[in-house]
Amino acid sequence: MISSGATGYDSKIYEHVKYFYDTQAWLPKNAVIANQKALDALDKATRDALLKAAAAAEPRGWKVSEEKTKWYAEQLTAKGMTIAKPSAQLAADLKKIGEQMTGDWLKKAGADGQAVIGAYRKM
């Protein structure tokens, strides 16, 4: 089973397994997505206020994500699970699978997909 600490805790996975390998595959976070045309249609003052609020929310969101990730790990440990980093082999295998899946998706996604992945990799 592959899961986040959050889903593992919420689904009480600790009742069935005793080891959690923290692959950092899923971390609790949320995103707000805006339609570019709708954003561009806002008057300057409203758009500027929205972007200012977003800029202020981003660091808070990352902070809460880190806090929740830590909290879930603590809760899983308290419920008797052993949390460990994946072995080098498991990490390499997961990376290889991820690269293959991304490559397969990019073949179907075209230029827009390439742009998305390109922007993500610059982060």
How far apart, in Å, are the Cα atoms of 1 and each of 4, 16, 89, 123?
10, 11, 17, 29
Helix (H, G, I), strand (E, B), or coil: what is residue 115? helix
Q: Are 82 and 93 in the same domain?
A: no
Q: How many domains does the chain have?
A: 2
Q: What is the pLDDT of residue 33?
A: 87
Q: Are 57 and 34 in the same domain?
A: yes
Q: Are 71 and 92 in the same domain?
A: no
Question: How many alpha carbons fall within 13 Å on the CB side of residue 57?
Answer: 10
Residue 29 pLDDT class (50, 70, 90 cuts) = confident
1-27 pLDDT tens trace = 788 899 999 999 999 999 999 888 877
Q: Are 12 and 24 in the same domain?
A: yes
Centre a 10 Å sphere on the Cβ of residue 79 and count the other Cβ atoms it contains.
14
Q: Are 69 and 99 in the same domain?
A: no
Q: Are 20 and 48 in the same domain?
A: yes
- pTM confidence score: 0.71
Q: What is the pLDDT of residue 27?
A: 73
Contact 28, 6 (CB under 8 A): yes
48-86 pLDDT tens trace = 999 999 999 999 998 998 899 999 999 999 999 999 999
Helix (H, G, I), strand (E, B), or coil: what is residue 106? helix
Structural domain for 23, as ranges: 1-86
**CA 123, CA 117: separation in Å to the nearest integer?**
10
**CA 2, CA 53: separation in Å to the nearest integer?**
35
**CA 10, CA 28: separation in Å to the nearest integer?**
12
- Listed residue (52, 65, 56) closest to 26, CA to CA: 65
91-123 pLDDT tens trace = 999 999 999 999 999 999 999 999 999 998 897
Q: What is the pLDDT of residue 36?
A: 94
